[in-house]
Amino acid sequence: MNHQEILNRVDHTLLTPDATWEQVRAVCDDGLAFSTASVCIPPRFVKRAAEYVGHELKICTVVGFPNGYSTPEVKVFETEDAIRNGADEIDMVMSLGLAKAGDWEGVLEEIKAVKTSCKGRILKVIVEACLLTQEEKVAACRVVTMSGAEYIKTSTGFSTGGATVEDIRLFRENISPDLRIKAAGGIRTFEQAQAMLDAGADRLGASALVGLAKQMGI
């Protein structure tokens, strides 16, 4: 892929806790200018950003972020609030505690509840792969496949590691053909982005690639 085709797969992301509206607006401007797949921003700014971009750019936000240990009811409320405010896509963190306890039925029920509250919008389930064993990653692939979500996402970018080519390949081997993969966390070059796409990723969560594109004069 050329650089623009890669940017078309990017959720241009700003999720730092101290993000201001001015910074979010700049991210939206960059998303519009570089035709990114979406901008992924804090819930607080969804309504304002959606009004700012109109229907020219998809607005993505996060639920249960970054630790995933909110109750299912809270995650559902967050999702409903985001949708009311104009979010097009939801990236939720699954319950890692339930996963570690082997309660995959509980994980599945929570994801399905959030998916229902999305009302047809795209749902990406963040499994925080860096905290999972190989067996747990495979189980997560199975559960997200069963949930009705559109994407399985590797990472929040706020834990001990981000996306790896090995995890993307493992996910691709263990999900259904219609479930897509979002690689996120630590993708700082176009070469890294291409490697993720080559391994089977469909979408990329990145905050650095647009800035890099500017430096390169793309």
Q: Choosing from 91, 115, 124, 167, which is the catalytic residue?
A: 91
Measure CA of the first residue to CA of the last residue in the chain; give whole Å: 14
Interatomic CA distance for residues 2 and 196, integer angstroms: 14
Closest CA to 193 of 209, 180, 177: 209
Interatomic CA distance for residues 156 and 140, integer angstroms: 15
Q: Choosing from 75, 115, 137, 182, which is the catalytic residue?
A: 182
Interatomic CA distance for residues 152 and 129, integer angstroms: 10
**Following CA atoms 149, 108, 136, 167 in sequence, which dihedral angle do they give, to the nearest 10 degrees?**
0
Q: Choosing from 30, 75, 153, 167, which is the catalytic residue?
A: 153
Let me know if 19 is exposed, middle or buried by CB neighbors in 10 A (0-12, 13-18, 19+). Answer: middle
Active site residue 182: yes
Active site residue 58: no
Distances (CA, A) of 94 to 17, 23, 77, 137: 20, 28, 15, 12
Active site residue 47: no
Could you list the active site residues? 91, 153, 182
